[in-house]
């Protein structure tokens, strides 16, 4: 039995509530396949979901001419609850189909970030609605938000993407896990909080879910982190004629490919960086990057990319 943290990518959940309800049924099958042979902790992304919640809140607040109502951290908490419910529900159904008895529990997870993280000086992650330049300037002045032009489509609010320092519910996660539960934690990278004068406070930021999954894996003492995404393997020269799918990367190789710019910002690059942070955290730690439906084959060493 290996102790494994799984990070579920966007394709495990889909983009809309209806898509998600369907997608999690398939996802739950892969998860329970893995859970039959291993001890699992599950983490997941929330990009489309938190975007949807944030947009809905924006519209509600615009209708009231008040943007000051629903902080982004709260939107993240809502997304954890809603995705956690769908995952729990689908996993419970799959377990009962197989006559397996296991607790399934999702934990609303706060993740400590450093208030001096360099990311706060350069907000980079676009969230919420598109605005004209004039509208964005008005909102920026009134609420102190930062806006950036987003790929010719208009102006969007941007928030920082700091690194996770600690997961505040780690004790609950470990205790439930040790009691045999299938724990879902750190969803959407976790709700970012900073500590100020001894008090924890949610901040408007997005933590990359791949980094939080790596942190979670270290904190619970997992031996393997599996990042399940839309591709079976990691490639070098991705999308080019000389594309090459990689089965195994040493730390040195991964570092070299990173330096060569082989992995796209915002998609594969954070996964490789997160993988390295976990592999470097403890001797013997390994990372597998593969797709959801190849997870079992990947574990057998038949496909996927191993790092470490
Ligand atoms: P997730 O929701 O799982 O985090 P992302 O879209 O963020 O998914 O990242 C996975 C995507 O990264 C793949 O679908 C692929 O298009 C892209 N990608 C970028 N560079 C590479 C690479 N070098 N090898 C494989 N995939 C890559
Ligand atoms: Mg991603």
pLDDT in tens, 69-89: 789 999 999 999 999 999 999
Q: Which ligand is nearest to the CA of 238?
A: 1
If you average pLDDT over residues 232-256, what whole number do you get? 97
Q: Is 150:156 a contact under the CB 8 Å cutoff?
A: yes
| 65 has pLDDT over 80 | no
Ligand 1 midpoint to CA 48 (Å): 16
Pairing of strands 182-184, 166-167: unpaired
pLDDT tens digits for 222-239?
999 999 999 999 999 999
Nearest CA to ligand 1 atom 27: 268
Domain with CATH 3.40.1160.10 in the chain: 2-114+164-307
User: Which amino acids bring their CB within 6 angstroms of ligand 1?
Assistant: 9-10, 45, 229-231, 234-235, 238, 262-264, 267-268
pLDDT tens digits for 142-151?
888 899 998 7
DSSP secondary structure string, 109-174? -EEE--TT-GGGGS--EEEEEEE-HHHHHHHHHHH--EEEE-TTS-EEEEE--PPP-EETTHHHHH
**Does the domain made of 2-114+164-307 have the CATH classification 3.80.30.20?**
no
| 196 has pLDDT over 90 | yes
Ligand 1 midpoint to CA 54 (Å): 24
* pLDDT at position 14: 87
CA distances from 27 to 81, 90, 177, 194, 271 (A): 17, 8, 20, 33, 20
Pairing of strands 155-159, 146-149: antiparallel
CA of 45, closest atom in ligand 1: 2
Question: Is residue 178 flagged as an active site residue?
Answer: no
Q: Hey, what are 139's tokens?
A: 């909102």
Q: Is 9:230 a contact under the CB 8 Å cutoff?
A: yes
Rounded Cα gap, residues 6 and 170, in angstroms: 16
Q: Which ligand is nearest to the CA of 232?
A: 1
Measured torsion, CA atoms of residues 140, 142, 143, 148, in degrees rounded to the nearest 10: -10
């Amino acid at each position: 039995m290996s102790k494994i943290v799984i990070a579920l990518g966007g394709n495990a959940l889909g983009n809309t509530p209806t898509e998600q309800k369907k997608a999690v049924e398939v996802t739950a099958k892969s998860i329970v396949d893995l859970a039959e042979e291993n001890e699992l902790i599950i983490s997941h992304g929330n990009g489309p979901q938190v975007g949807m919640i944030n947009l809905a809140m924006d519209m509600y607040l615009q209708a009231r001419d008040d943007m000051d109502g629903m902080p982004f951290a709260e939107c993240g908490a809502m997304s954890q609850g809603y995705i956690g419910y769908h995952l729990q529900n689908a996993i419970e159904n799959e377990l009962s189909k197989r006559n397996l008895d296991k607790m399934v529990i999702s934990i609303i997870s706060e993740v400590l970030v450093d208030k001096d993280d360099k990311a706060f000086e350069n907000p980079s992650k676009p969230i919420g609605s598109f605005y004209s330049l004039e509208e964005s300037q008005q909102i920026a002045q009134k609420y102190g938000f930062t806006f950036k032009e987003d790929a010719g489509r208009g102006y969007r609010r941007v928030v920082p993407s700091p690194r996770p320092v600690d997961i505040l519910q780690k004790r609950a996660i470990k205790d439930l896990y040790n009691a045999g539960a299938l724990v879902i934690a750190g969803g959407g990278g976790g709700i970012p909080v900073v500590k100020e004068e001894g008090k924890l406070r949610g901040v408007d930021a997005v933590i990359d879910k791949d980094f939080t999954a790596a942190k979670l894996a270290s904190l619970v003492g997992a031996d393997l982190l599996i990042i399940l995404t839309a591709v079976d393997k990691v490639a070098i020269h991705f999308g080019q004629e000389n594309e090459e799918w990689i089965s195994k990367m040493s730390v040195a190789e991964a570092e070299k490919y990173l330096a060569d710019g082989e992995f796209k910002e915002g998609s594969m690059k954070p996964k490789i960086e997160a993988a390295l942070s976990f592999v470097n955290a403890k001797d013997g730690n390994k990372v597998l990057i593969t797709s959801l439906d190849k997870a079992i084959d990947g574990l057998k060493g038949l496909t996927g990319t191993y790092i470490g």
